[in-house]
Structure 1
Amino acid sequence: MTQPPPSPPSPLSPSSPLRPSPPGSPLSRIRVGSAPDSWGVWFPEDPRQVPWQRFLDEVARAGYEWIELGPYGYLPTDPAVLTEETARRGLRVSAGTVFTGLHHGAAVWERTWAQVADNAALARAMGAEHLVVIPAFWRDDKTGAVLEDRTLTPEQWRALTSLTERLGREVRERFGLRIVVHPHADTHIDTEENVTRFLDATDPDLVALCLDTGHYAYCGGDSVRLIETYGERIGYLHLKQVDPEVLAGVVAAGTPFGPAVARGVMCEPPSGVPALEPVLAAAGKLDVDLFAIVEQDMYPCPPDKPFPIAERTRRFLRSCGA
């Protein structure tokens, strides 16, 4: 197994206005970061996305220490290169991200594992401890074309849960990472009913949850209630808000997720829902080490738009104690 590189020193000094929460505070074990998604990055390559160097420069300048890898291939995939680029900016990697379609059963395992292994190897080499797992979409996020039924059969649920457990076991054994499954709009793990069904059917030792507050609100869920009810399953957070007025129109029109994002359904905190202060407070009560990664879905977006939002969001989260 590839050994992770030494962790770079924190760029935050005790006198910095962006210093971490003081030891003993309710949020002292929550580590805040951001991700390429907050810079409008959805794909490894796209001319409408900012270059990776600009993302790294700006995410550090906005006051974040932790980042996710984003779509595999956007950031350099050579660990030596990426280690140098992140370390000189005072950045560290919290997780990689993969998309899966495990409800399709054993036939997709080898194809799934091939992309998981690449992502996991890079994440581990960068010193990360998590792999964010996002289920496949049931409709195309650009065209809205229905790809399959939005409701899984009992057989598909069994395939989803059993193969996710297998994924958790093999990722841990081969790479030393913990998988955190990300409920997501337009997937089969979305609403409170489906999220709790998934959690109840999977082994807590193998499968944790990446609670994305924006996606969960988008699908009608209550993040605070989920944390309070399934706290032991929360392994990772994505901090995000939705604009309730835009969301109401999206739901009424049956708009796919991609066009909904283009309409601004995911908005800058603290202007949307859910309120992040009670989410962070509930997470702080778990008294566990927890990443809280800002992800404001913006695709496509003007290249100069993300940085001011990222900087303001970091200040807002600091005002919440995180």
Structure 2
Amino acid sequence: MRIGSAPDSWGVWFPDDPQQVPWQRFLDEVAHAGYEWIELGPYGYLPTDPARLHDEVGRRGLKVSAGTVFTSLHRGPAVWDATWEHVSQVAELTRATGARHLVVIPSFWRDDKTAEIIEPAELTAEQWSHLTTGMERLGREVRDHYGLEIVVHPHADTHIDTEPNVERFLDGTDPDLVSLCLDTGHYAYCGGDSVRLIRTYGERLGYLHLKQVDPDILADVVKNGVPFGPAVARGVMCEPPGGVPALEPVLAEAQKLGVDLFAIVEQDMYPCPPDQPLPIAVRTRRFLRSCGA
């Protein structure tokens, strides 16, 4: 299991935002915290010139595990061209870093900054069909054109969120084309059990995001229907080991699979004070070592 972190753990959600730390500081601090692997984060946050990115990452002793894309494939064939243009841009940079994975996040049904509802929270049967066939096509095209594996990330305030929806998505997609990025925090946020998911769908697990939820804040978020963005601002995603799920059994269950896995720490903290992420990252890395990771 290869442990890393991501710009998300430094409060980075967007390519450019005045509330985020500069990318140079993120790279310096993630290396200082003891991580070897990073994700690219939102495209355009880190340098997009492959040579410069390679130099900046390499001279800090870091390596890239994955890039990230957002998709809205449930909207059908009409969005394919725009989707592929975006995916190709990120996939090309990801491949240039030597990474093998592309984390695919479904589009939000409400805006993660304004909390405005964009579309219905539930998909129709036709939209589910568009989503599953579209992801299979994406997996095939990304593999054939870039040699990368897509890992689909269930996420709060998207259509792949709860246990039933995650299972429906996995049951409806080809294992040879679509793998899962299990984010333990998002899955707990949406009521799912990460250990049970790994036991049931272990052969689909291609990637891990390690994250915890504060159960008290989550209870209030659920009770009052708080959108994900404001919930994060309240601190719903918390520093381990203070939340749920317990990461020790999740890591133990994943290690039983006997496969090579990335486990990337992602503590959603947008927005956060610039001096907050580094001490948390150092403590989190120490905690994960105590778990044998």
Which category of TM-score, normalised to the shorter sequence, fits these structures?
Answer: over 0.9
Q: Does 1:301 align with 2:267?
A: no
How high is the TM-score relative to the length of structure 2? Answer: 0.99
Q: Which secondary structure does the structure 2 equivalent of 1:90 belong to?
A: coil
1:64 is matched with 35
Q: Which secondary structure does the structure 1 equivalent of 2:286 belong to?
A: helix
Q: Does 1:167 align with 2:111?
A: no
* RMSD of aligned residue pairs (Cα, Å): 0.5
Which of the residues 83, 92, 103 maps onto 2:63?
Answer: 92
Q: Does 1:283 align with 2:266?
A: no
Take 1:248 and 1:37, find their aligned partners in 2: how far apart are those partners?
Answer: 23
Q: Does 1:182 align with 2:153?
A: yes
2:21 is matched with 50
1:128 is matched with 99
Summarize the alignment of residues 240-279 of structure 1 with structure 2, pairs less than 5 Å apart.
240-279=211-250
Q: Which has the higher helix share?
A: 2
Q: Any conservation in 2 of the 1:142–1:256 contact (CA below 8 Å)?
A: no
Take 1:55 and 1:149, find their aligned partners in 2: how far apart are those partners?
Answer: 36
- Deviation of the 1:141 alpha carbon: 1.7
How high is the TM-score relative to the length of structure 1? Answer: 0.91
Q: Does 1:197 align with 2:168?
A: yes
- Deviation of the 1:139 alpha carbon: 1.1
Which of the residues 12, 21, 44 maps onto 1:41?
Answer: 12
Q: Map Cα deviations across residues 202-237 of structure 1 (whole Å, 9 max, x no partner).
A: 000000000000000000000000000000000000
2:179 is matched with 208
- Deviation of the 1:145 alpha carbon: 1.8
2:195 is matched with 224
Q: Which secondary structure does the structure 2 equivalent of 1:230 belong to?
A: helix
Summarize the alignment of residues 300-319 of structure 1 with structure 2, pairs less than 5 Å apart.
300-319=271-290
Between the two proteins, the alignment pairs up a number of residues equal to 293
Q: Which secondary structure does the structure 1 equivalent of 2:217 belong to?
A: helix
- Deviation of the 1:48 alpha carbon: 1.1
Could you tell me which runs of 5 or more consecutive residues in structure 2 were left unpaired when the two chains were aligned.
Answer: none
- Deviation of the 1:144 alpha carbon: 2.1
Take 2:230 and 2:139, find their aligned partners in 1: how far apart are those partners?
Answer: 32
Take 1:79 and 1:176, find their aligned partners in 2: how far apart are those partners?
Answer: 17
Q: Map Cα deviations across residues 159-188 of structure 1 (whole Å, 9 max, x no partner).
A: 000010000000000000000000000000
Could you tell me which runs of 5 or more consecutive residues in structure 1 were left unpaired when the two chains were aligned.
Answer: 1-29
Deviates more, 1:78-87 or 1:136-145: 136-145
Which of the residues 112, 137, 147 maps onto 2:118?
Answer: 147
1:6 is matched with none
- Deviation of the 1:47 alpha carbon: 1.1
Take 1:129 and 1:219, find their aligned partners in 2: how far apart are those partners?
Answer: 28
Q: Percent identity?
A: 79
- Deviation of the 1:143 alpha carbon: 2.4
Take 1:174 and 1:67, find their aligned partners in 2: how far apart are those partners?
Answer: 23
